[in-house]
C-alpha cells in the first residue's frame, strides 16, 4: 500500500480534492442541480410556493428549461430501444437528436444504465467532469516528463478553471473540451512509442468531444488537436508520421457523423444560420478577472454588475497564472512546447476579447463561430495556462535553486507592478460608483493574499534552499494554496441542493401526466413543462428550430413574414390571428394561472364566444380550459389551392373566406381532382418518429397533418411511399386515394443514415489501421 501511495500520490490527491468538491452529493445526498431556483422561479412550481427560501445560484436557467428535460427525453427513448430522432413537444415538432445540445448519442450516457434515480445518474454525469479533466491533464503533463507536483498543479488549474466550473451544471460544454488533454497526450505518446493504443485513444477522444453536446466547443477541441499534431510533427522532425494520427483523427470524426450530419442539416434549416452577430465579446478591462474572478462581482453573491460571468470566465487560479507567465519568461527560448501553448493562449485571448482579430472572424461570417458567443474560446486560454503552469513550477524550482537575489527581484517586480495596477482601478474610483469600487477591492483581497503568500514561500525557499526538505515544504504549501483557491472558487459557484425539489410534483402535474392526448397544449411552456411532461406545445426555447415554422408564428403575431427570433418561439396570445391559428394547430387545452386572469400577458378568454372554452381542471392555482373548436391533428380536405408566394400563402390561410377545415394551400399541384365527398381520419398511433393514421375518403383527397414539415419524414400510403407535400406554409400533406387507406409517417432522415455509414467507415479505418501497424511491426 505504501508503495502504491508513494507512486500514485498525485492521482490520489486529485481524487481526494475532487471528492471534497463533490462531498455534498456523496455525504449529504444533495445534487448539483439548482432545485431551489427551479422551485422559486419557474412555473408551475413557483406558483404553488413549494419553496420560498434563498437561492444560491440563479445563473443557470438553461439547465432547467433545456438541458435536463432534453437529456431525460433522450434517455427515456434509448432505454425503450429507440433512437430519439424527433421531438414532438416543441415548435409543433422539431428534430431532437439533430439538436446538438440533446447529446443523445454521448457515450457517457451509460451512467443512466445504473439503477439510480435519474437525478442521481445526472449528478454523477455532472460531477465526473472535473475528475476526468484533472486526470487527463495529469497524464498529459507527465508525458512531458514534468514532476508530479507540477503536473498536479496544472491538473487542478484545468479541472477547476472558470469554463469548466461555470458550465459544469450543463454536462455538455465541459465534456466537449475536457478530453483535449487526452488527445494531446495520445499524440505525445504516439510519437514516442508508435504504439497503436495511443492512436486508438486519439480517435476515441474525437467522438467523446463531438457527441458531448456543444459543437462550438468541439470545434475549438479539434482545431487545437490538429494544430498540436502539426506542431509535434515538426518538433519531432518526422513529417511522415503526421499522416497516421491524422487518419485516426478523421476516423474519430467519422465516428461522430451520426450526430454531426443531422445537426448540420438542422442548422441549414434554422434561423441561426442567418444571424451573424458579434456576441459575448469580452471587453479589455475584463482581463482583471484573470487575476480576480469576482472583480466585477459574482451572480452567486448577487453583486455582479458588469459582463457575463459564465461566458467570460477565464480564471485558472492566481498561482497557476503566475507560473504560466513565469514559464514564458524562463523557457521561451528553451522549449518549443512552451512556445506552442503561449501562442495558443495569446490567440485565444485575441479571439475572445474585443480585438481586430475578433472583428475579422465576425466579418468572415463563418458558420457556428460567427453566430455563437465569441468569449467561449477563453477556455483555450485557461487550458494553456494550466499546461504552462506545470512547466512553470519546475522552471521556478530550477530558477530559485540557481538564481541570485538580484535576478529574483527582477522577476518579482513585473508581478508586483501588475497587481498594483489592478488595485489602482478601484482604489482611485475608476469604476462607476463607490459600491462597485468596493466590490472590486473586496474581491481583490484573497487573490492578492494567495499570490503574496506564494511569493513569500518562494523567497523563503530561496533563502533556505540548502536544506533538503525546503523544496518539499515549498511544494506542499504551494499545492495547498492552489487547492484552497480553486476549491473556494468552484464551490462558491456550483450549487448542491435537495433532490426532492427537482421537478417536484404539484397538482397541475397530475393533470399533465394523466392527460395522454395528441391535442396540443397552449401556454408559456418551455421544455421543463412540454418535453418533461410530454405536452405537445406550439413554441419553445432552443438555439435551433425549423426556420419556416418561426416565420409562420411571426405572421400569426404581426400579420407579415419576419425571420424568427434567435432562440425563442413565443406563440402570441391575443392577435387577430391567434384564435384561428390555435384551432388549426390542434390546441385542445390552455393552462393558465388564476392570478393571471385579466392581465395583458394572459390568454384573453373573454374575447371569444362563451361556449368556446370549457374548464376541465381547476385547483387553487391553475385552471385548464378545453377548446371545443379544435381541429383534429390530422384531417382530410377535398379542395386545395396552389400558391407559391409565401406572403400570399399566409394571407389566404388567414382570410375569413378560406375554411381551413375544408381547404389547404399547397405549393405544388398534387394532380388530383377537387371532388367533394365524405372523409374521415383517425390517428391510431402517435410516436415521436412514427405516426399512423386510418383514412376513409369517398374521393381522392389531401390528408393534412399539422406537424412541422421537415426533410427526413417519409409517408407510406397503403405501404407505398408517397411524397409529402408542404401544406399550409410549413405543415405536412399527402395525397390519399378513394376508399380506406393506412397512412404512415416515419422519420428516417438520410443525414442520420449517411452518418451511420460513415461511422462504419470510421470503424473500418481504425480496425484496418490496427492490422497495418501490426504488420509493419512484424516486418521491423
Q: Identify whether the C-beta of residue 301 lies closer than 8 Å to the C-beta of residue 439.
A: no
Question: H or E element: which one contains 694?
Answer: strand 690-697
The whole-number pLDDT of residue 369 equals 64
Cell numbers placing 544: 435551433
Number of H helices, E strands in the chain: 25, 21
Query: Burial of 214 by CB count in 10 Å (0-12 exposed, 13-18 middle, 19+ buried)?
Result: buried
Query: Could you tell me if 522 and 467 lie in one domain?
Result: no
Looking at the DSSP bridge assignments, the partners of residue 743 are: 693, 717
List, for residues 90-139, the tens digit of each pLDDT value.
999 999 999 999 999 999 999 998 878 999 999 999 999 999 999 999 99
CATH number at residue 692: 2.60.40
The overall longest dimension of the chain from CA atoms, in Å, is 102
Q: Is 413's pLDDT higher than 90? A: no
The domain boundary, picked from 498, 533, 553, lies at 498
Q: What is the pLDDT of residue 123?
A: 97
For residue 655, tell me if it sits in a domain: no
For residues 561-575, average pLDDT: 89
In the block, residue with C-alpha cell 390552455: 590
Give dist(CA 474, CA 394) in Å, integer: 12
Cβ–Cβ < 8 Å for 655, 695: no
Are 484 and 568 found together in one domain?
no
Average pLDDT over residues 264-284: 80
Is 764 within a domain?
Answer: no
Question: pLDDT tier at 274 (50, 70, 90 boundaries)?
Answer: low
The angle subtended at Cα 294 by Cα 288 and Cα 298, nearest 5°, is 140
pLDDT of 706 reads 97
Helix or strand or coil: residue 58?
A: coil
Kindly indicate the confidence band of residue 416, based on its pLDDT and cuts at 50, 70 and 90. Answer: confident
- The pLDDT of residue 662 is 94
233 and 328 housed in the same domain? yes
Task: Please check whether residues 491 and 514 belong to one and the same domain.
Answer: no
Same domain? 484 vs 517? no
Torsion angles phi and psi, residue 384, rounded to 5: -65, -40
Q: What pLDDT is recorded for position 366?
A: 67
- pLDDT tier at 333 (50, 70, 90 boundaries)? confident
Give me the phi and psi of 588, to 5 degrees please. -95, -20
Q: Determine what percent of the chain is predicted with pLDDT higher than 90.
A: 78
What is the number of other CB atoms lying within 10 angstroms of the CB of residue 616?
A: 13
CA angle 299, 302, 306 (to 5 degrees): 65
Rounded distance, CA 395 to CA 393, Å?
A: 5
- Cell readout for 492 is 462558491
Pair type for strands 634-637 and 587-593: unpaired
Question: Band of the pLDDT at 410, cuts 50, 70, 90?
Answer: confident
What would the mean pLDDT of 749-758 be, rounded to a whole number?
A: 97
| CA–CA dist 656, 767 (Å, integer) | 64
pLDDT at 272: 72
- Whether residue 493 is found in the same domain as residue 373: yes
Residue 476's H or E segment, with its range, is helix 470-493
Q: Are residues 526 and 476 part of one domain?
A: no
pLDDT of residue 508: 93
| 693-726 pLDDT tens trace | 999 999 999 999 999 999 999 999 999 999 999 9
Q: How confident is the model at residue 515 (pLDDT cuts 50, 70, 90)?
A: confident
Tell me how far apart the alpha carbons of residues 129 and 160 are, in angstroms, rounded to a whole number.
Answer: 10
- Name which of 494, 496, 526, 543 is nearest 167 in CA terms: 494
The full 3-state SS of 207-228, as one line of letters, equals HHHHCCCCHHHHHHHHHHHHHH
Asked which of 438, 463, 498 is the last residue of a domain, the reply is: 498
Do both 478 and 515 map to the same domain?
no
Phi, psi of 622 (to 5 degrees): -115, 155
- Do residue 563 and residue 538 come from a single domain? yes
| Three-class secondary structure of residue 153 per DSSP | helix
Q: pLDDT at position 237, please?
A: 76
pLDDT of 721-733, one tens digit each? 999 999 999 999 9
Is residue 71 scored above 70 in pLDDT? yes
Range of the domain at 293: 2-498
Residue with more model confidence, 365 or 428: 428
Q: What is the pLDDT of residue 371?
A: 62
Orientation angle between helical segments 243-255 and 257-269, nearest 10 degrees = 60
Residue 256 and residue 356 in contact, taking contact as beta carbons nearer than 8 Å: no
Q: How far is CA 524 from CA 40, 43, 67, 580, 618, in A?
A: 16, 9, 18, 19, 18
Model pLDDT, residue 777: 64
Cα 748 from Cα 417, distance rounded (Å): 63
The pLDDT assigned to 503 comes to 95
Percent of the chain residues past pLDDT 70, beyond the cut: 96
Asked if 318 and 387 touch (Cβ cutoff 8 Å), the reply is no
User: Would you say residue 124 lies in a domain?
Assistant: yes
Torsion of CA 681, 687, 691, 695, to 10 degrees: -20
| Model pLDDT, residue 276 | 54
- pLDDT over 80 at 597, yes or no: yes
Distances (CA, A) of 196 to 127, 190, 256, 387: 31, 8, 21, 25
DSSP 294: T
pLDDT for 565:
86
Are 194 and 315 part of one and the same domain?
yes
- pLDDT tens per residue, range 226-263: 999 999 998 877 777 788 999 999 999 999 999 999 99
Do both 476 and 594 map to the same domain?
Answer: no
CA pseudo-torsion sign 388, 394, 400, 403: negative
Task: Tell me: do 524 and 465 sit in the same domain.
Answer: no
339 torsion bin: left (phi>0), alpha (psi -120 to 50), beta (else): alpha
Averaged confidence pLDDT in the chain: 92
Residue 683 is assigned to a structural domain of this protein: yes
Q: Which of 198-207, 265-274, 282-291, 643-652 has the lowest mean pLDDT?
A: 265-274
For residue 246, how many other CB atoms are within 10 A of its CB?
15
* pTM exceeds cut of 0.75: yes
Give the per-residue pLDDT at 277: 63
Give me the pLDDT at residue 778, please: 64
Sort 108 into a burial class: Cβ within 10 Å, 0-12 / 13-18 / 19+: middle
Using the predicted structure, report yes or no on whether residue 459 has a pLDDT greater than 60: yes
β-pair partners for 537: 521
Name the pairing type of β-strands 713-717 and 739-747: antiparallel
Q: What is the pLDDT of residues 351-400, one digit of tens each?
A: 999 888 877 777 666 666 666 778 899 999 999 999 999 999 999 999 99
Task: Indicate whether 762 belongs to any domain.
Answer: no
- Per the structure, the count of domains in the chain is 3
Q: What is the pLDDT of residue 51?
A: 86
Q: Is residue 776 part of a domain?
A: no
Q: Hey, what's the cell of 602?
A: 394572459
Amino acid at each position: 500500500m505504501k508503495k502504491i501511495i508513494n507512486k500514485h500520490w498525485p492521482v490520489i490527491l486529485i481524487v481526494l480534492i475532487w471528492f471534497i468538491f463533490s462531498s455534498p452529493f456523496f455525504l449529504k445526498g444533495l445534487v448539483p442541480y439548482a432545485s431551489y431556483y427551479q422551485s422559486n422561479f419557474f412555473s408551475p412550481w413557483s406558483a404553488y410556493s413549494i419553496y420560498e427560501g434563498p437561492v444560491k445560484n440563479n445563473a443557470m436557467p438553461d439547465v432547467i428549461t433545456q438541458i435536463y428535460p432534453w437529456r431525460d427525453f433522450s434517455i427515456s427513448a434509448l432505454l425503450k430501444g429507440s433512437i430519439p430522432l424527433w421531438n414532438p413537444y416543441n415548435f409543433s415538432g422539431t428534430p431532437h437528436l439533430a439538436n446538438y445540445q440533446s447529446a443523445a448519442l454521448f457515450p457517457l450516457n451509460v451512467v443512466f444504465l445504473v439503477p439510480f434515480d435519474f437525478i442521481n445518474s445526472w449528478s454523477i454525469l455532472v460531477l465526473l467532469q472535473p475528475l476526468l479533466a484533472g486526470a487527463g491533464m495529469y497524464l498529459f503533463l507527465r508525458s512531458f516528463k514534468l514532476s508530479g507536483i507540477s503536473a498536479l498543479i496544472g491538473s487542478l488549474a484545468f479541472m477547476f478553471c472558470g469554463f469548466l466550473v461555470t458550465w459544469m451544471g450543463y454536462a455538455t460544454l465541459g465534456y466537449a473540451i475536457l478530453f483535449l488533454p487526452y488527445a494531446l497526450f495520445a499524440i505525445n505518446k504516439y510519437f514516442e512509442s508508435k504504439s497503436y493504443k495511443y492512436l486508438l485513444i486519439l480517435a476515441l477522444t474525437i467522438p467523446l468531444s463531438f457527441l458531448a453536446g456543444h459543437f462550438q466547443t468541439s470545434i475549438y477541441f479539434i482545431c487545437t488537436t490538429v494544430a498540436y499534431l502539426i506542431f509535434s510533427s515538426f518538433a519531432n522532425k518526422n513529417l511522415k508520421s503526421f499522416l497516421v494520427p491524422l487518419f485516426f483523427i478523421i476516423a474519430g470524426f467519422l465516428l461522430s457523423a451520426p450526430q454531426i450530419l443531422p445537426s448540420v442539416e438542422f442548422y441549414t434549416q434554422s434561423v441561426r444560420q442567418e444571424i451573424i452577430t458579434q456576441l459575448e465579446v469580452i471587453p479589455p478591462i475584463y482581463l482583471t478577472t484573470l487575476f480576480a474572478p469576482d472583480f466585477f462581482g459574482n451572480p452567486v453573491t448577487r453583486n455582479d454588475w458588469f459582463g457575463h460571468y459564465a461566458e467570460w470566465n477565464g480564471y485558472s487560479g492566481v498561482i497557476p497564472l503566475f507560473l504560466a507567465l513565469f514559464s514564458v519568461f524562463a523557457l521561451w527560448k528553451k522549449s518549443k512546447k512552451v512556445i506552442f501553448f503561449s501562442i495558443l493562449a495569446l490567440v485565444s485571448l485575441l479571439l475572445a476579447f474585443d480585438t481586430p482579430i475578433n472583428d475579422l472572424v465576425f466579418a468572415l461570417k463563418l458558420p457556428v463561430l460567427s453566430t455563437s458567443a465569441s468569449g467561449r474560446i477563453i477556455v483555450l486560454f485557461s487550458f494553456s495556462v494550466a499546461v504552462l503552469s506545470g512547466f512553470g513550477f519546475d522552471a521556478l524550482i530550477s530558477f530559485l535553486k540557481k538564481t541570485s537575489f538580484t535576478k529574483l527581484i527582477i522577476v518579482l517586480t513585473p508581478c508586483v507592478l501588475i497587481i498594483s495596477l489592478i488595485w489602482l482601478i478601484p482604489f482611485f474610483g475608476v469604476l462607476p460608483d463607490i459600491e462597485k469600487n468596493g466590490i472590486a477591492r473586496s474581491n481583490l483581497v484573497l487573490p492578492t493574499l494567495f499570490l503574496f503568500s506564494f511569493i513569500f514561500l518562494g523567497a523563503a525557499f530561496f533563502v533556505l534552499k540548502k536544506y533538503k526538505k525546503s523544496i518539499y515544504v515549498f511544494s506542499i504549501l504551494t499545492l495547498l494554496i492552489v487547492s484552497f483557491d480553486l476549491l473556494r472558487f468552484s464551490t462558491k459557484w456550483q450549487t448542491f441542493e435537495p433532490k426532492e425539489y427537482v421537478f417536484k410534483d404539484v397538482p397541475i402535474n397530475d393533470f399533465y401526466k394523466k392527460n395522454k392526448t395528441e391535442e396540443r397544449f397552449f401556454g408559456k411552456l418551455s421544455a421543463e413543462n412540454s418535453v418533461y411532461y410530454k405536452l405537445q406545445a406550439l413554441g419553445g426555447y432552443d438555439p435551433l428550430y425549423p426556420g419556416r415554422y418561426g416565420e409562420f408564428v411571426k405572421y400569426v403575431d404581426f400579420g407579415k413574414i419576419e425571420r424568427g427570433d434567435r432562440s425563442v418561439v413565443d406563440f402570441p396570445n391575443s392577435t387577430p390571428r391567434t384564435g384561428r391559428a390555435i384551432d388549426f394547430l390542434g390546441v385542445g387545452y390552455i393552462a393558465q394561472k388564476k392570478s393571471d386572469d385579466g392581465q395583458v400577458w394572459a390568454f384573453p378568454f373573454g374575447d371569444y364566444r362563451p361556449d368556446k372554452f370549457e374548464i376541465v381542471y381547476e385547483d387553487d392555482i391553475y385552471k385548464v380550459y378545453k377548446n371545443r373548436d379544435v381541429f383534429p391533428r390530422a384531417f382530410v380536405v377535398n379542395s386545395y389551392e396552389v400558391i407559391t408566394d409565401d406572403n400570399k400563402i399566409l394571407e389566404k390561410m388567414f382570410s375569413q373566406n378560406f375554411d381551413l377545415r375544408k381547404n389547404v394551400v399547397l405549393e405544388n399541384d398534387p394532380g388530383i381532382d377537387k371532388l367533394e365527398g365524405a372523409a374521415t381520419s383517425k390517428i391510431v398511433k402517435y410516436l415521436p418518429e412514427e405516426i399512423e393514421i386510418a383514412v376513409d375518403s369517398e374521393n381522392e383527397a389531401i390528408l393534412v397533418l399539422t406537424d412541422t414539415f421537415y426533410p427526413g419524414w417519409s409517408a407510406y400510403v397503403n405501404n407505398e411511399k408517397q411524397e409529402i407535400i408542404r401544406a399550409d406554409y410549413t405543415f405536412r400533406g399527402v395525397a390519399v386515394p378513394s376508399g380506406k387507406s393506412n397512412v404512415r409517417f416515419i422519420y428516417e432522415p438520410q443525414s442520420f443514415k449517411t452518418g451511420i455509414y460513415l461511422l462504419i467507415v470510421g470503424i473500418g479505418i481504425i480496425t484496418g489501421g490496427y492490422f497495418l501497424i501490426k504488420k509493419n511491426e512484424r516486418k521491423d
